[in-house]
Structure 1
Amino acid sequence: MSLLHLAIISPLILAIFIPFVHKTFPKIHTGWFLLPLPILLFVYFLSFLSGAIKGQATMETLPWIPSLGIDFTARVDSLGLLFALLITGIGALVVLYSIYYLSKEKEKLNQFYVYLLLFMGAMLGVVLSDNLIVLYAFWELTSFSSFLLIGYWNHRERSRYGAQKSMLITVFGGLSMLGGILLLYLMTGTFSITESIGLAEMIVTHELFTAALICFLLGAFTKSAQFPFHIWLPDAMEAPTPVSAYLHSATMVKAGIYLVARLTPIFAFSGLWIWLVAGIGIITLFWGSFSAVRHTDLKGILAYSTISQLGLIMSLLGIGAAALHYPSIDAGFYTAAVTAAVFHLLNHATFKGSLFMMVGIVDHETGTRDIRNLGGLMTIMPITFTIAVIGAFSMAGLPPFNGFLSKEMFFTGMLRAQEIGFFNMDTFGIIFPILAWIASVFTFIYSMIIVFKTFTGKFQPEKLKVKPHEAPIGMLISPVILVSLVVLIGLFPNTVAPLIKGVMGSILPQLIQEGMEFDVHIYHWHGFDSPELWMTVGVVIIGVLLYKYMAKWTGVYTRMPERFSFNAAYDNGLAMIQKGSNSFTNAYMTNSIRTYLIYIFAFFIFILGTTMVVKNAFVLDTTNVADIRAFEVVLVAIIAIGSISILFAKSRMTSIILLGAVGYSVSLFYAIFRAPDLALTQLVIETVSVALFLLAFYHLPKVNRHEEKRTFKMGNALISVGVGALVTLIALSAHSSKAFDSISQYYVENTYKKAGGENMVNVILVDFRGFDTLFEITVLGIAALGIFSLIKLRLTRGKEQ
């Protein structure tokens, strides 16, 4: 195992030891033992930075299932490295923040940090796996670990609801993505992302291409909370604030963004990819920003703001994909959108992470996140106020912060959407900059709400659960580091330009192969003739006016009935599924063994019969069948008559005797076919069975079978005849179409030589199939112990009574 593989799974390994560390050192906050790992991993991944900037990729392969083309291939290029640095860097800050946020006396820290490590390792696996099957395994682990983190406070009903909601939606997307992986494998013959990129231009015309594209996008859209799958993210805010700061601003919700970026070189040759990614992204941006304004919970506002920002990045990736779709056009015209997407991806992680931590501080130090109860905290919590101003103003796209720069680049990308000539995009492309500008206005409004509704205005101590005060220094370190990055990147944006350039090479590798050079140079000023500047001015002016007169227009939200919302649709759909499944289950769960047998045998006939007919597998070849002798016909007739007579017997005694006659007749067959051991075994079993039946029925209440009303049921008759006929035909067909020579001759030749036994049946059971026999004996032994325990338990209770 290479050091790179060890780095990826190291959080998973450490998670095993966290419970023991927590128990051994109960007086020390468990987070301190965890903190060194993400720091070391961040430093380790920084060592790849110089090579990644130059376009180099490091790849290490650990064989797993090579026969199926599944190996744990870890690949570090610029795109994977950017996400790995975010996962470990912000992960370290979140762990430090959580040490002061979560009380070691009140919280189950061993569980929290195990879940957090599982998630960290899973995300590293997602962004650094080159094999799609391995990526999928880690992908589902992110869903599982986020489910545990969101439901961490499982005593709260809303936490359990949010965890379940996120799990159902993201796992649905994950299964869809698995379908896409399998379809892509059918087209390319490989699970390797790198190899699939090399075959991209070939598979775009494949009949499975569109289906695979949609399956992958369902996985990406559900994970990154794109419209209409965005509904799980606000409910996930029931998780502790460190979880929200980590999962829902920098990591988990970015997994879908990563998937789209990683698969762009494969699918961007289709106009459908550009349309869906850009279109769903811009709708998500608009709906998320519009919905954020109506909320009064600070984390609720941030949840919808995250949805809108994810839509912004997704729309940019869609527009930027046109650089591959239109190689004849100047690709640089569209690569600006990819530049903006990568830059805003980095910026969003910094300002949104700091804002989540700020909200956690406000909640921790005041006891509420409701802006209706907050206000006037600026002088009481000046450092937290400063964090809020920098983070929110950057999110609003105001200078001199990094969000202003990427927002200007976002406007540039949206203006260029009108030049894409597919699906009438050149006609309807004007919708993109219009929705982008309107969404930016609402983004400005909710950013102002976060700052001014919380920290200015009237101080209302009577509505606060605790006396507010500034947070301890330990809780402030992480958000201060993040807002410092917001300012530094805003003032010196070109310090990250080489990394952005490298990431663009990972997203658009075909352009690199064609000799194109990406020019990433980020400017604060583009001149007065820049339309982006006037769009920003318009956002600020209209945003200020709408914020000042919010009371006059926010009534529009009350005109949208809750019962018609997406959340209501989800809840009603889930209730209908549960009701329908209960009705369906109650319909066939009748507590009747006879009914269950009917279902089983009917399904048996349908599946096997249909398969045999479709495959034309019914074959009857009598060339190798021995002649049927007269006494064999007689025995078969006796068995048949005895079996049928049981159905019409009028007493239990008669039924038992007839059943025994059938068994003894079968033993005669064994004797005729020179299998005395089997005949003896059958005789013993039949004797014991008959005796047990007599004993059991002796203790049952007597029933006068003359009074029983017998009715002939054609369905039961058809099923019984069908099963018998089908099994007979399958047996004859199997005998008539043997693909291999019988193994019986092998036993004849080797029974004595290899096992030293003369009785072939015994040797097969004890030696050649020794493990099979051992396990059968083990099962019987376990069953015997269970029966013995039940009998002892019944006898013990009888004595007590």
Structure 2
Amino acid sequence: MSLFHIMIFLPFIFAVFTPFIYKLVSPRIHTGWFVILVPLTVFLYLLQYIPTIANGSTIYQTVPWMPSLNINITTNIDGLALIFGLLITGVGTLVVLYSIYYMSKHREALHNFYVYMLLFMGAMLGLVFSDNILVLYVFWELTSISSFLLIAYWYQRKNSRYGAQKSMLITIFGGLAMLAGLIMLSMITDTYSIREMLSKVDLVTADSLFLPAMILLLIGAFTKSAQFPFSIWLPYAMEAPTPISAYLHSATMVKAGIYLVARFTPIFGGSSEWFWIVSGVGIITLIYGSINAVNQKDLKALLAYSTISQLGLIMCLLGLGSASMYFGHGDESTVYAYAVLAAMFHLINHSTFKGSLFMVVGIIDHETGTRDIRKLGGLMSLMPVSFTLTIIGSFAMAGLPPFNGFLSKEMFFTSVLTAAEHPVFGMKTFGLLIPVIAWIASVFTFIYCLILVFKTFTGKHRPEKLDKVVHEAPIGMLIPPIILALLVIIIFFFPNGVSKNFLQPALIAILPGFAETGGLDVTIKPWHGWNTELFMTIGVAGFGVIMYLYLKRWSFLYNFFPKALSLNHLYNQSIEGTENISLKVTNRYMTGHVRDYLVYIFGFMTLLLGSALWLSKEFSFTISNDADVTVYEGGIIVAMVISALTVLLSKSRLTAIIALGALGYLVSLFFVIFRAPDLALTQLVVETVTAALFLLCFYHLPELRKEISRVKFKATNLVISIGVGVIVTLLALASNNHRLFASISHFFEDSYTLAGAKNIVNAILVDFRGLDTMLEILVLCIAGLGVYTLIKLQLAGREKE
């Protein structure tokens, strides 16, 4: 295993030891001081790859896992994966530092918190660096599970459990859909490697599974990145502690869907379906999130909807940029590829300003005891550092200079205008619609940014509505958002360093056609003259300020939207309806009677297997090669038939039990005749114990003993019994006549040479299936211990009496 693989699995390794560290050092030292070494170490290690990847190289490393199934842990280090890897570990380091001051070492179960976080961190690293689609899926679902645990960290709260359940149901559903899409891709290309799939794009586009695979893959991406209409889980995930929100919902988990779309753009990009689905869902999500953010009263809910909106923006850019593959090479291809560059730039910028904002909101909640905007106000003089950080983060999100969000927002405007000016895939009809929606969404983005700043920090301070005496947060809690805020400003003044080392390599990974040219020769600068993009920005700021000032006069419009049509209401109704239907169905078959359960089981088995035999028309058998039936065997068969009929027709349960035991003993005689004494002995023991247990049960159940003398005949029992017997017999005869492979008995005939055993059965049980036998013995031992414990408890109870 290479050092790189060790670094990917380092969070998993450390997660195993975290509970022990917590037990040793708590409450003297905060466990976070040990955990922070993990993301910091991986982050510093990944930095060494920046020069190599910036030069256009891609590094592949493989560790065998299941080579016989062609499933290996193959890592792919390229520009796209490196951006995500640095975000996961870099922001992860700051979040852990922030959590040291946010999470109390005396009142919180920190070992659980950091184990969940490390699991999530490792899963995200494995996801973005995996080249094998099945390994990618394993890490994908592990992010859903670990995020469920993180969101439900305060499990005693009803809203935390609800938010965790909603996020898991939606993202797991998307993950299963994505798995189906990935399997379709592997069926088309005959490989599990994404790198090899890229060399077989023509096969994928020409296959009939192209569209189903694409849609299923996008469902997985949209659910994970909270795209419309799957975005309803993200606001409720805000019940998690603020460090989790800053990590999962600004920089990492929600970006996994973005990563998936970017990674598979080389395969599906260039098609009209991919272009319209990705860009269309993205632009709808953009305006949906921005409009809903304005109506929120909780600061974290506002940031949640703003995250939905910003993710929609990035998704829209990736969709627009995918049209570059349709043109191949040339000016139009370059024009559309600019959108991909803008998407990656805004992805980095969003992680910086949104991570900082989440941390500041956590500080406000930590120091005031509330996130309710209606209770806040006048905090500017009491929390000047937090106010400054909020200004930087909010204005970057609003797209104002001198902050990095201004640059990527201008690139977004350029991309949507370019799409309108160079129509493709029917853009002549809807070309102007995308820039208009983008501009309207930007206006609402500006409004909620103003709300975040001015409703929280300006106005009158009302200490009577707060649970705490307000003061600025400790410096340790302020350092992480300060670092992110500084990056917001630094990137604005030095954007081309980011472009050369990160954006250009990522562009080549998403659009491989630009590998020969080394990417796009784009110089990012804040001033491009008095162009359309600048006028759009001025219009956004102007209309945004006016609508903010008159917010109370038009915000009542939100009340007109019927709650019955909201996505959350539809989700709740669907969950409630599913539970009601499940309850009714369950009550129909969960009657509490064992006989009913056996009827269901055997009846279903009879219908299923009988239908399969009938439809497949595979039932046939021959007796020409069978051995002759001797007189002794015939006599035993007749005796077995008599015993079976006695069980069915006996009016006494006692007689039925004896007849059933006799049937078992007659079967053991067959084993003796066929020279299987070990099976005969086992059968005798089982039948003896079974008969004794039946008799004991009837002896100790007085309500059943009264009915021993009269047993009612039931036609259902007769039909089920005959049906099961006939189907099993037919299956046995058909199976004996349709042997698709050579018998493995010839292999075991050489058991003496292979295992040194003269008894084939013993060799199979002890040598060839030794582990299976050992586990069976273990199960019997556990059952024996359970019986012994119950007996001891019963005896102890009697002694107390």
> For the residues of structure 2 that align with 1:34 and 1:677, how far apart are their CA atoms?
57
Change in Cα spacing, 1:142 to 1:623, as seen in structure 2 (3 Å) is same
Q: Which runs of 5+ in 2 are unaligned?
A: none
Q: How far apart are the structure 1 equivalents of 2:529 and 2:771?
A: 82
Which structure 1 segments of 5+ residues have no match? Answer: none
Aligned to 2:39: 38
Pairwise mapping of residues 339-358 of structure 1 onto structure 2 (< 5 A)?
339-358=341-360
Counterpart-to-counterpart distance in 1, 2:754 and 2:198? 57
3-state DSSP of counterpart to 2:173? helix
The answer as to whether partners of 2:378 and 2:461 remain within 8 angstroms in 1 is yes
Instruction: Name the CA distance, whole Å, in 2 between partners of 1:654 and 1:72.
Output: 62
Asked whether 1:509 is paired with 2:548, we answer no
Aligned to 1:3: 3
Of 228-237 and 570-579, deviating more is 570-579
Q: Deviations for 1:272-325, whole angstroms, at most 9, x for unmatched residues?
A: 111011000000000000000001111111111110000000000000000002
Contact 1:70 1:191 in 2 (8 A): yes
Q: Find the aligned partners of 2:375 and 2:688 in 1 and give their Cα distance.
A: 83
1:435 to 415, 434, 437: 437
Residue 497 of structure 2 corresponds to 495
Match of 1:721 in 2: 722
> CA-to-partner distance for each residue in 1:634-684, whole Å, 9 max, x for gaps?
432332123112322233443344334434544554555566776677567
Alpha-carbon separation, structure 2, partners of 1:686 and 1:16: 47
Contact 1:324 1:511 in 2 (8 A): no
| Structure 1 residues 740 and 23, CA gap change in structure 2 (3 angstroms) | closer
Name the SS of the counterpart of 2:736 in structure 1.
helix
- What is the CA distance between 1:332 and its match in structure 2? 0.9
Is contact 1:622-1:736 (8 Å) kept?
no
Q: Secondary structure at the match of 1:204?
A: helix
State the AA in 2 paired with 1:235: Y
Could you say which residue in structure 1 is the equivalent of 2:396?
Answer: 394
* Alpha carbons 1:123, 1:142 under 8 Å: kept: yes
Separation in structure 2 between the aligned mates of residue 16 and residue 745 of structure 1, nearest angstrom = 46
Task: State the Cα distance separating 1:593 from its structure 2 match.
Answer: 1.2
CA deviation after TM superposition for structure 1 residue 10, in Å: 0.8
Among 401, 404, 415, the residue aligned to 1:413: 415
Q: SS at the partner of 2:515?
A: helix
With normalisation by structure 2, the TM-score equals 0.94
Give the aligned residue type for 1:511: F
Q: Percent identity?
A: 55
Asked if structure 2 preserves the Cα contact closer than 8 Å seen for 1:204 and 1:269, the reply is: no
Amino acid across the alignment from 2:545:
V
2:747 and 2:201 map into 1 onto residues whose CA distance is 52
Q: Which residue in the other structure is 2:81 paired with?
A: 80
1:725-763 per-position Cα deviation (integer Å, ceiling 9, x unaligned)? 121122222323334555667767766997575x77677
Per-residue deviation, 1:769 = 6.3
Match of 1:331, SS? helix
**Cα distance change on mapping 1:560 and 1:29 into 2, 3 Å:** same
Deviation, structure 1 residue 706: 9.3
CA contact (8 A) 1:505 1:512 kept: yes
**How far did residue 385 of structure 1 move?**
1.1
Say if 2:751 and 2:760, in contact at 8 Å, map to a contact too: no
Deviation at 1:711, TM superposition (A): 4.5
For 2:444 and 2:792, the matched residues in 1 are separated by 72
1:597 corresponds in structure 2 to 598
| 3-state SS of 1:459 partner | coil
Which residue of structure 2 lines up, in the alignment, with residue 376 of structure 1? 378
Measure, in 1, the Cα distance between the counterparts of 2:528 and 2:450: 26
TM-aligned CA distance change 1:699 to 1:441, over 3 Å: closer
Retained in 1: the 8 A contact 2:174–2:221?
yes
Measure the CA separation in 2 of the matches of 1:63 and 1:19: 30
Q: Which residue of 2 aligns with 1:332?
A: 334
Partner of 2:650: 649
1:659 equivalent in alignment to 2:654: no
Counterpart of 2:374 in 1: which secondary structure? coil
TM-score, with length taken from structure 1: 0.94
Say if 1:520 and 1:462 are closer, same or farther in 2 by CA, change over 3 A.
same
Change (3 A) 1:5 1:644: same
> Is the contact made by 1:151 and 1:160 (CA closer than 8 Å) also made in structure 2?
yes
Alignment of structure 1 residues 486-565 onto 2, 5 Å: 486-498=488-500, 499-513=502-516, 515=517, 517-528=519-530, 530-565=531-566
User: Where does residue 161 of structure 2 map in the other structure?
Assistant: 160
SS at 2:254 equivalent: helix
Please give the per-residue CA displacement for 1:588-646, whole angstroms capped at 9, x wherever unaligned. Answer: 11111111111111222233333444544323121211233455444323321231123
Distance in 1, matches of 2:328 and 2:733, equals 63
- For 1:734, the aligned partner's letter is S
Identify the residue that residue 14 of structure 1 maps to in structure 2: 14
Q: What is the distance in 2 between the residues matched to 1:742 and 1:324? A: 54
- Alpha-carbon distance in structure 2 between the residues aligned to 1:396 and 1:347: 12
3-state SS of paired residue (2:217): helix
CA distance in 2, matches of 1:406, 1:770: 63
Counterpart secondary structure, 2:537: helix
Q: Distance in 2 between matches of 1:322 and 1:33?
A: 47
Q: Distance in 1 between matches of 2:491 and 2:288?
A: 28
Which among 364, 367, 381 is matched to residue 365 of structure 1? Answer: 367
Shift of 1:439: 0.2
TM-superposition CA deviations, 1:169-227 (whole Å, max 9, x none): 11111111111111110011111111111111331121111111111111111111100
Contact 1:500 1:520 in 2 (8 A): no
Partner of 1:296: helix, strand, or coil? coil
- In 1, the alpha carbon distance for the partners of 2:588 and 2:700 equals 34
Contact 2:651 2:709 in 1 (8 A): no
My pick for the range that moved more, 649-658 or 446-455, is 649-658
Aligned match of 1:244: 245
Structure 1 residues 571, 695: CA separation in 2 closer, same or farther (over 3 Å shift)? closer
| CA displacement at 1:450 relative to structure 2 | 0.6
Residues 606, 39 of structure 1: alpha-carbon distance in 2 compared, 3 angstrom cutoff:
same
CA contact (8 A) 2:60 2:77 kept: yes
How big is the shift at 1:35? Answer: 2.1
Q: Which residue of 2 aligns with 1:25?
A: 25
SS of equivalent to 1:190:
coil
Cα drift, residue 258 of structure 1: 0.8
Change in 2 beyond 3 A, CA 1:596/1:238: same
Kept in 2, the 8 Å contact 1:59–1:75? The answer is yes
**Equivalent-residue separation in structure 2 for 1:696 and 1:669 (angstroms):** 29
SS, match of residue 281 in structure 1: helix
The structure-2 alpha-carbon separation of the partners of 1:71 and 1:636, relative to structure 1 and needing over 3 Å to count, comes to: same
- Alpha-carbon distance, 1:505 to partner: 0.8
Q: CA deviation at 1:487?
A: 1.1
Moved more, 300-309 or 668-677: 668-677
User: 1:49 and 1:664, CA in 2 relative to 1: closer, same or farther beyond 3 A?
Assistant: closer
Alpha-carbon separation, structure 2, partners of 1:716 and 1:384: 76
Is the deviation greater in 284-293 or in 636-645?
A: 636-645
Bigger drift between 20-29 and 431-440 goes to: 20-29
Aligned to 2:233: 232
Mapping for residues 735-774 of structure 1, pairs under 5 Å:
735-739=736-740
Q: Give the residue type in structure 1 aligned to 2:637.
A: V
Amino acid at match of 2:194: I
SS of the aligned residue for 1:125 comes to helix
In the other structure, the counterpart of 1:464 is: 466
Amino acid corresponding to residue 377 of structure 1 in structure 2: L
- The one-letter code matched in structure 1 to 2:2 is S
Structure 1 pair 283/785, CA: closer, same or farther in 2 (3 Å)? same
**C-alpha spacing 1:411/1:740, structure 2 compared with 1 (3 Å):** closer
Measure the CA separation in 1 of the matches of 2:510 and 2:774: 56
Alignment match, 1:131: 132
Q: Secondary structure at the match of 1:252?
A: coil
Secondary structure class of the residue paired with 1:376 = coil
- Paired residues, what number? 797
